Chain A
């Protein structure tokens, strides 16, 4: 991205913030709709610079989110690889997967609470259930659509199955797998908040509900801002890893056009 492009993009964000500031000031209803500066100040003192908030809320939330997401990644990549490599397995599992995928994960929350309690395991399981599908389906697609000449080349040189899997199939599916991982991260953030709003005694989602119930609107706004930052930060971190791992893909697709 050029410096000018970056400036343009940032200017839109800054414009939105300025609009918020002006509108909230004009509305003059600071209890319900505080200006941006008030919310940012609260975000800074009550979250960012408060070690207790990190230990008691942010860390547990991130822990659940990452546990659920990582579990989904392991299960999704493994199962997706099996399904992608084997047409028969795919044909048998397709209807079941289509059905399970169609269930909105939040409706499983009551069931999971009964089965697993309201602990971290339940939340990680819920997050994992929602996040696994984009990873699994993208992996299956990527693994199933390896360039045929890559396969022929591997066969002609009698490359063993495991080497083919690790050094040919998975790398060539990696761009699709990463797309799935990024989609899954977005879903994981949403499910983390939902699980924490309904059934928990700590975490960012819990604090959000507490603030709302005691009419601390500035805290509600600040927590929303925090969740936005968390989602953005996780996505940026993943994009950074992807850039390193898939450097070849960016280069190869750039020269192919």
Chain B
């Protein structure tokens, strides 16, 4: 993979492709509502792509299709060009609802270690990965505590540690910071960027927060009102590393944010 440079939009190789993806609730041939009409998307290896859209636009459904938790009723998901059936290997998900995603009967370390059990790693390496991941998200001291003993932000850090210890090539994040307070959200955003940079993974990040999408991503994909289509793709050429104060105050950030907002609210006028 070519080294990522500031503003580099041409990272080689498209790792993940969505081809005319469609999803209808209930039986495929029914009159059930169409959640996703036709979404095509290419995610280059090593990129950070954000998906935004109005609430109820099927963003989370789209992420579940990519994760293999739902089966598309039309189109296909491809990884490295090969169509995916079921849950792909090398993929991890961070859900919005950390409280329900973490297992309350396991410690934080136990939660991070659980998905590693079936990878056939030697015990020592498994423990090392757990320690490293917890250190990376700043939870080294909370390894033996239970999720419910932690604040919401710390719980989501634990969920992120669980994902990165798994060493996925593709990291899916489904509105991961939607239910934490603003200051915690800013901290978690910077942590997510640090993790992405350190692991050179590919991130698909769903959010309803326009600022967040522009702050984090290389590219923002705007979805329409349901049934979801891609309304626009906005390239974000803000320099990295990004900074909560500097980046958000820059004229280009403000311009991009307005651009994305306009496409969400008045897609026809885009």
List residues of chain A with CB under 8 Å of any chain B CB: 147, 149-150, 152-153, 155-160, 163, 167-168, 171-172, 174, 248-249, 251-252, 255-256
In contact, B87 and A174 (Cβ under 8 angstroms): no
Tell whether, in the assembled complex, residue B101 and residue A153 are in contact, meaning their CB atoms are under 8 Å apart.
yes
> Within the complex, what minimum Cβ distance (angstroms) separates A120 from chain B?
37
Inter-chain contact A158/B103, CB cutoff 8 Å: no
In contact, A171 and B91 (Cβ under 8 angstroms): no
B177 interfacial by beta-carbon distance below 8 Å: no
Query: Which interface residue of A147, A156, A160, A174 has the most chain B CB atoms within 10 A?
Result: A156
Q: What per-residue 1/0 map shows which CB atoms of B92-130 lie under 8 Å from chain A?
A: 110101001101111000000011011000000000000
B interface, CB within 8 angstroms of A:
64, 67-69, 87, 89, 91-93, 95, 97, 100-101, 103-106, 114-115, 117-118, 146-149, 162, 166
Given A167-B114, A251-B148, A252-B148, are A156 and B103 also a contact pair (CB < 8 Å)?
A: no
| B35 vs chain A, min Cβ distance (A) | 17
Task: Tell whether A255 pairs with B149 under 8 Å between CB atoms, given A163-B118, A171-B105, A172-B105.
Answer: yes
A168 to B118, CA, bound (A): 14
Cβ-defined partner of B101 (8 Å) among A150, A158, A159: A150
Write the nearest CB–CB distance from A257 to chain B, whole angstroms. Answer: 11
* B148 & A155 in contact (Cβ 8 Å cutoff): no
Q: By the criterion CB–CB under 8 Å, are B91 and A159 in contact?
A: no
| B69 and A152 within 8 A (CB) | yes
Q: Which of A150, A157, A256 contacts B115 (CB 8 A)?
A: A157
Q: 9 pairs across A/B with beta carbons < 8 Å?
A: A157-B92, A157-B115, A157-B166, A167-B114, A168-B103, A171-B105, A172-B105, A249-B104, A251-B148
Residues in B with CB closer than 8 Å to A159 are 114-115, 117-118
Q: Hey, which chain A residues are within 8 Å of B106, CB to CB?
A: 167
Pick from B87, B105, B118, B162: contact of A248, CB below 8 A: B105
| CB pair A150 B103 closer than 8 Å | yes
Residues of chain B contacted by A171 (CB below 8 angstroms):
103, 105
Among A147, A156, A158, the residue within 8 A (CB) of B118 is A158
Instruction: Tell whether, in the assembled complex, residue A252 and residue B146 are in contact, meaning their CB atoms are under 8 Å apart.
Output: yes
A252 lies within 8 A of B104 (CB): yes
A150 contacts across to B, CB distance below 8 A? 100-101, 103
Cβ contact within 8 Å between B93 and A153:
yes
Task: Report Cα–Cα, A156/B92, bound state, in Å.
Answer: 6
| Closest Cβ–Cβ distance, residue A151 to chain B (whole Å) | 9
CB contacts (< 8 Å) of A256 on chain B: these are 148
Q: Which residues of A contact B97 (CB under 8 A)?
A: 149
The 3 A-B pairs with the shortest beta carbon distances in the complex, nearest first, are: A157-B115, A252-B104, A149-B100
Bound complex: CA of A252 vs CA of B64, how far in Å? Answer: 27
Is A156 a contact of B105 with CB atoms below 8 Å?
A: no
Asked if residues A152 and B95 are in contact (CB atoms below 8 Å), the reply is: yes
Complex contacts, B93 vs chain A, CB 8 Å: 152-153, 156
Closest to A158 in B: B87
Given contacts A172-B103, A251-B146, 15 further A-B contacts (CB under 8 A): A149-B97, A149-B100, A150-B103, A152-B64, A152-B69, A153-B101, A155-B69, A156-B68, A157-B114, A157-B115, A159-B118, A174-B105, A248-B146, A248-B148, A251-B148
Cα–Cα, bound, A155→B172 (Å): 14
Cβ distance A130 to chain B, nearest Cβ, rounded Å: 30
Question: Which of B95, B118, B148 sits near A255, CB closer than 8 Å?
Answer: B148
CB distance from A150 to the nearest CB of B (A): 6
- When C-beta atoms are compared, the residue in chain B nearest to A245 turns out to be B105
Q: State whether B87 touches A156 (Cβ < 8 A).
A: yes
Query: For the complex, what is the distance from the CA of A160 to the CA of B119, rounded to whole Å?
Result: 10
CB <8 Å contact, A156 and B148: no
